[in-house]
A and B are shown apart, each in its own frame.
Chain A
């Protein structure tokens, strides 16, 4: 561990893991609450087009990815609000458009598949100082808004109509949630890669809600699980020489499995105790 910190690239990788691990579940909790768990995936695909755009134009792909993903996020919310398209169909179209656009653009740029690979599967060990700075800024913004506005976001995701009657600007907040998700995807793009970004937004939430009863604890515990999975994944991948992205996601999934087991055991114990009391 100590020796691991001697490498500059490893220090940067661990920093990036901290920001990603905290930011992804911070916004992912609201997506799960709204039952839009797959929104992250859809936006990840759209971000791919953004990355390809960056490769074509020579602009930093992380910037073009943010811009394109945010536009995609706004578009999908507008489709949901005003169009006659249901949420899941709008999502499906994002998936297809994003992948097709990304690959077409990359073809045009005559980029070899490898340059897209770094974004598809993540390449946390090649994170540069300027990448890290951008990741840090975006992640802090996401975390601050997700926690600071959590009463409003909670109300909007829990019961949209009641929130509207209470005078909460529901449309603005819906768009904000989608935009924050898009920004998070770009943050996590280098860490876990676009194909697995959404896993880090959703799996920690699924794990934490096995054991919690309140929204607040679920939210905070998900962030802790995300943080541990991201850090653990980077360290493990270094030790056993695997790709960090999938390693992070597998650790998160393992935590989920463990939490589900503990929850099931706790339920059994409680049920047992109750029947014991009755008899």
Chain B
């Protein structure tokens, strides 16, 4: 099986300021990787560069063994943006927004298929919004809107889910059902790259944590070595030499 995500030496400058400095990141098939780090450390920029939303000044990204520039098989990729402007200028229902997650399955001018309708209904059900399918997005709370965006990513039935703080603003119960859902998907062979500040109920699922600091990888390894639920101590016995300064103490990725 090919590696869903393989990034090497990713370097990004925004507005002439270096934001990522030669970052390597892998996500193996069936792996659940959490990307952690302080505000502004470059987590979003890293995932956005990895899926082609931010141009890189150096480095390479391969998705499922294909260089990013030639990657056409978009059905294999699902994305939940951070704090998306979910509500646009014209009303749209939950169903319509989630349906746009199926676009990569559709042909040009193609009609929606039965599979599209089924996948969309299933995705909405999975985020617990089955009763709100026909509600306008603007009538939902912030956390519910966030769950709609998760459903949109799920609807594509992707093999690699890239989620940028999907649980921000989502209550504990719904985080738990999301954890259960993602656990099931990973068990079935999907891979997840998740950006988060608080892992919460997702913690047990995580195979590997990667900590970004100032545009470089400061730590990667088992999440258990990051002691404490919310504030982090990084215990580095092995691979990673020094304890990244500033990672101890109070909640770096709070």
Contacts and interface: CB of A to CB of B under 8 A. Distances in A.
Size category, A interface: 20 to 34
Contacts of B48: 161
Interface in B91-125: 91-93, 95-97, 99-101, 103-104, 106, 108-109, 112
Given A152-B103, A168-B103, 14 more contacts: A33-B88, A35-B88, A151-B99, A154-B96, A158-B100, A159-B84, A162-B81, A162-B100, A165-B74, A165-B79, A213-B139, A214-B96, A215-B90, A215-B92
Nearest to B103: A166
B99 to A, nearest CB: 7
Contact of A162 (B84, B89, B91, B109): B84
Interface of B: 48, 51-53, 72, 74, 77, 79, 81, 84-86, 88-93, 95-97, 99-101, 103-104, 106, 108-109, 112, 134-136, 139, 152, 156
A149 interface: yes
Contact of B74 (A35, A154, A167): A167
A155 B103 contact: yes
Interface of A: 29, 32-35, 37, 148-149, 151-152, 154-155, 157-159, 161-168, 205, 209, 212-216, 218-219
A148 B111 CA distance: 9
16 contacts: A155-B100, A158-B92, A159-B100, A161-B48, A164-B53, A165-B52, A166-B77, A209-B91, A213-B93, A213-B134, A213-B139, A214-B93, A214-B95, A214-B134, A215-B93, A218-B91
A245 to B, nearest CB: 25
Nearest to A164: B53
Contacts of A214: 91-93, 95-96, 134, 136
The 5 lowest CB-CB distance pairs between A and B, nearest first, are A167-B74, A213-B136, A155-B100, A33-B90, A215-B92
* A interface: dominant SS: helix
Between A154, A168, A215, the greatest number of chain B beta carbons within 10 A of the residue's beta carbon is seen for A215
B97 A158 contact: yes
